[in-house]
Structure 1
Amino acid sequence: MKTEVLKNFIVLEGLDGAGTTTQLNSLTAKLIEDNLTVFKTFEPTDQNIGRLIRSVLQKKISLEAKTISKLFVADRYEHIYGKDGIIEHLDNGEYVICDRYLFSSLAYQSPDCDFDFVYNINKDYPLPEYLFFISTPVEVCQERLDKRGDEKELFDAKEFQKQVVSFYNKALEIYKDSGINIQIIDGNKSPNDITNEILNIIR
Structure 2
Amino acid sequence: MRGLFITFEGPDGAGKSTQVHKLSEYLSEKDIPFIHTREPGGTAISDKIRSLILDPEHAEMVDETEVLLYAASRSQHVKEKIIPALKQGYVVLCDRFVDASIAYQGVGLGVSVESIKLINEFATGGLSPDRSYMIDLPVEIGKERMVARNQLDRIEQKGTEYHEKVRQAFLELHDHNQERITLVNGDNQVDEIFHVIKEDFVALWDNYCKNNK
> For the superposition of Structure 1 and Structure 2, which TM-score range results when normalised by the shorter chain?
0.7 to 0.9
Find the counterpart in structure 2 of residue 78 from structure 1.
Answer: 76
Query: Conserved in 2, the CA contact under 8 Å of 1:43 and 1:98?
Result: yes
**Could you say which structure has the higher helix fraction?**
2
Find the counterpart in structure 2 of residue 196 from structure 1.
Answer: 195
Aligned-partner residue type, residue 39 of structure 1: I
- TM-score normalised according to structure 2 size: 0.83
**Could you say which structure has the higher strand fraction?**
1
Number of equivalent positions: 193
State the 1:98 CA deviation.
Answer: 0.4
Find the counterpart in structure 1 of residue 211 from structure 2.
Answer: none
Q: How does 1:171-186 map to 2 (within 5 A)?
A: 171-176=173-178, 180-186=179-185
Identity of aligned residues (%): 26
Q: How does 1:1-203 map to 2 (within 5 A)?
A: 7-46=3-42, 47-61=44-58, 62-82=60-80, 85-110=81-106, 111-112=108-109, 113-123=111-121, 125-156=126-157, 157-176=159-178, 180-203=179-202
State the 1:38 CA deviation.
Answer: 1.4
Find the counterpart in structure 1 of residue 207 from structure 2.
Answer: none
| Deviating more after overlay: 152-161 vs 25-34 | 152-161
Find the counterpart in structure 2 of residue 3 from structure 1.
Answer: none
RMSD: 1.9
Secondary structure (helix, strand or coil) at the match of 1:127 reads coil
Query: Structure 1 regions of 5+ residues with no counterpart?
Result: 1-5
Query: Conserved in 1, the CA contact under 8 Å of 2:4 and 2:86?
Result: yes
Find the counterpart in structure 1 of residue 210 from structure 2.
Answer: none
- TM-score normalised according to structure 1 size: 0.87
- Provide the C-alpha distance between the structure 2 equivalents of 1:56 and 1:71, rounded to a whole number of angstroms: 7
- Provide the C-alpha distance between the structure 1 equivalents of 2:173 and 2:156, rounded to a whole number of angstroms: 18
- Provide the C-alpha distance between the structure 1 equivalents of 2:104 and 2:71, rounded to a whole number of angstroms: 13
State the 1:152 CA deviation.
Answer: 4.6
Secondary structure (helix, strand or coil) at the match of 2:5 reads strand
State the 1:67 CA deviation.
Answer: 1.2
